[in-house]
Amino acid sequence: MAFSVTRNPNPRSDAEREAIIADPSFGTAFTDHMVKIDYVDGAWGEGRVLPYGPLTLDPAATVFHYGQEIFEGLKAYLHPDGSIATFRAPANGARFARSAERMGMAQLPVDLFVESLQALVSVDRAWVPSAPDTSLYLRPFMIATQVGLGVNAPSNSYSYLVIASPAGPYFKSGIKPVKVWLSTEYTRAAPGGTGEAKCGGNYAASFVAQQYATAQGCDQVVWLDAAEHRWVEEMGGMNLYFVYGSGPSARIVTPALTGSLLPGITRDSLLTIAGDLGYSAEEGKISTDEWRAGAESGELTEVFACGTAAGITPVGWAKGATGEFTIGDGTPGPITLQLREQLTGIQTGKLPDPHGWVSKIA
C-alpha cells in the first residue's frame, strides 16, 4: 500500500530534536508524525502518515469501556552503513495479528504492518538516534472505535496507529542486576485467558502488583502460574532465562509457552543465539522452589530477563513470601553478557545476521 504523507506544519526545531535525541528517557517524547489506518465496513482504508497529535474519539467508543486494545513494541536501529533497520519486524506483525485474533479484532496483514513502520521511519528518519545503545522505539497499536455500549460483540471498526519515540540505554548507569518479587498475591494470566496476547488489559491489571513489588524493595514482578503460584512464567514486560552450570557445557532454560505468558521475540531469538554459541538451550518448567534450591546449591549460576525495551537484564536477587536469595554473586554473569553482546551486535548491524532477522527499512 502506498501511504499518503501529510507533513507536520509545526515540527520540532532541529535543536529541540537534537536535545531530545541526546538524552531520551523511555517513551516520553515522540517524533513529529504518526501512522493511522482505519478499518471500516470490513476493510482497511488508506495508510496515512499524519502530524503526531491527539485523536478525536466518541466517548462511547468500545476501547474506553471494554478495553479492546492491542499493541506491539519494536526498535529501529541506525546501522554502521547509515541505513535504518528493524529486528524481526514480521514476527512482531505476526504476533500483532495473533493478539487481534484473541481479542476479536480485525487482523492487519503482516506486510501492511511492516510497510507502516517503513512509512513512519522514512518520514521521521532524523529522529533515529546514533549514540551507542540508542534506537527509535516503535509502538504500533490498535483500538476499537465502534460507538455504543453493547457488550455482546466485538467492535466493527478499528484504528491502527504507529507512534515512535527515541530510546536511550534503558539503564543509564550501565547494566545493573535487578531484584525481583515472586508474586503469590496476584495473577497475571490464567489458562484460556489473554496472557499470550499483547493487549492493554494485561498491563492495566499488573500495575498494582508492580507497586506491591516496589514496596517490597524489588524492581520487577515475576509472575507465577495461576493455579499453584509455583511455576515461573515471566516478568511484567520481559521473559526469563535460567543458566545452569558454566562454560561450554552450560544449560540454558526458559519457561515453556503455556498460553499464559507472552511469546517474546527476544526470548525466541535467544533460544537460537544460545544454540549458535554452542550452549544447550531449551524450554522447560521451573518452580520457585527449584529456583531457590539451584541458587543456593550453586547449580543455577545466572538468571536474566529479556525483552525489546531493556534488552537483556541480569537478575541478581529474588524475593518472595518465604524470603530472599541471591543468584550467583549478584553480579551479571558471563553467559548473560555474552548473549547480550551477540543479540545487540546483530540488532545494530555490528555482527553478521545469519538468520535473516534484520531488515533495512529506510
Distance CA 268, CA 359 (A): 18
Residue 270 engages ligand PLP in binding (rule: CB under 6 A): no
Pick between residue 257 and residue 361 the one whose CB is nearest to ligand PLP. Answer: 257
Among 34, 128, 197, 265, binds ligand PLP (CB under 6 A): 265
Pick between residue 21 and residue 240 the one whose CB is nearest to ligand PLP. Answer: 240
Q: In angstroms, what is the minimal distance from the CB of 206 to ligand PLP?
A: 8
Pick between residue 207 and residue 298 the one whose CB is nearest to ligand PLP. Answer: 207
Contact range with ligand PLP by CB under 6 A, out of 1-9, 37-45, 263-271, 350-358: 263-271
Q: In angstroms, what is the minimal distance from the CB of 147 to ligand PLP?
A: 30
Q: How far apart, in Å, do the first and last CA atoms of the chain sit?
A: 16
Residue 264 engages ligand PLP in binding (rule: CB under 6 A): yes
Residue 262 engages ligand PLP in binding (rule: CB under 6 A): yes
Residue 308 engages ligand PLP in binding (rule: CB under 6 A): yes
Residue with cell 467492535: 155
Pick between residue 35 and residue 343 the one whose CB is nearest to ligand PLP. Answer: 343
Count of positions on this chain that bind ligand PLP (CB under 6 A): 12
Nine-digit cell at 267? 526470548
CB atoms within 10 A of CB 282: 13
Residue 27 engages ligand PLP in binding (rule: CB under 6 A): no
CB 215 within 8 A of CB 208: no
Query: Number of helices and strands (H, E) in the chain?
Result: 9, 19
Residue 123 engages ligand PLP in binding (rule: CB under 6 A): no
Q: In angstroms, what is the minimal distance from the CB of 332 to ligand PLP?
A: 19
149 sits in the region (left: phi over 0; alpha: psi -120 to 50; else beta) called alpha
Q: In angstroms, what is the minimal distance from the CB of 212 to ligand PLP?
A: 17
Binding mask 187-226 for ligand PLP (x = CB under 6 A): ----------------------------------------
CB atoms within 10 A of CB 3: 20
Pick between residue 121 and residue 312 the one whose CB is nearest to ligand PLP. Answer: 312
Residue 334 phi, psi (nearest 5): -65, -35
Residue 287 DSSP one-character state: B
Pick between residue 166 and residue 263 the one whose CB is nearest to ligand PLP. Answer: 263
Among 47, 129, 255, 307, binds ligand PLP (CB under 6 A): 307
Residue 239 engages ligand PLP in binding (rule: CB under 6 A): yes
Q: What is the CA radius of gyration of the chain?
A: 21
Contact range with ligand PLP by CB under 6 A, out of 43-51, 120-128, 245-253, 261-269: 261-269
By CB neighbour count within 10 A (0-12 exposed, 13-18 middle, 19+ buried), where does 102 fall?
A: middle
By CB neighbour count within 10 A (0-12 exposed, 13-18 middle, 19+ buried), where does 353 fall?
A: middle
Strands (E), the chain: 4-5, 33-40, 43-44, 48-51, 69-71, 74-78, 84-87, 135-144, 158-167, 178-183, 220-224, 232-235, 239-244, 251-255, 280-284, 300-307, 311-320, 323-326, 358-360
Q: Which of residues 319-338 bind ligand PLP (CB under 6 A)?
A: none
Pick between residue 17 and residue 88 the one whose CB is nearest to ligand PLP. Answer: 88
Contact range with ligand PLP by CB under 6 A, out of 18-26, 262-270, 273-281, 344-352: 262-270
Q: In angstroms, what is the minimal distance from the CB of 72 to ligand PLP?
A: 8
Residue 238 engages ligand PLP in binding (rule: CB under 6 A): yes
Strands 135-144 and 33-40, by their bridges, are unpaired
Q: In angstroms, what is the minimal distance from the CB of 217 to ligand PLP?
A: 22
* DSSP, residue by residue, 140-178: EEEEE--BS---SS--S-EEEEEEEEEE--SSTTS---E
What residues make contact with ligand PLP under the rule CB under 6 A? 73, 234, 237-239, 262, 264-267, 307-308
